[in-house]
Amino acid sequence: MDPNAARTARESLDLAFRMSNVLDTGLDRHTLSVLIALCDLGLNPEALAAVVKELRRELQTSFSPPSSTAQSSLS
């Protein structure tokens, strides 16, 4: 990659990462980079956002402690 292009890409990612932090997206730099690359390939950004939200929802569900209702039914 051309050094100038590499610098521009790095600066763009830095700016996007700062914006991501201001918006409190919780995305790390690598994940943001992958999502930007997918958008560059033509994937729909709204669809990607929906996938990220769904994956986060599934993670929260799988790692959340059991509800008090579930615990009381076991007693």
In the chain, domain spans: 3-64
Please state, in angstroms and rounded to a whole number, the distance separating the CA atoms of residues 42 and 26.
23
**What is the per-residue pLDDT for 69?**
57
**What is the per-residue pLDDT for 21?**
96
Residues 6+ apart with CB under 8 A from 29: 13, 17
pLDDT < 50 positions in the chain: 75
Asked whether 32 and 21 are in contact (CB, 8 A), the reply is: no
pTM of this structure: 0.74
**What is the per-residue pLDDT for 71?**
53
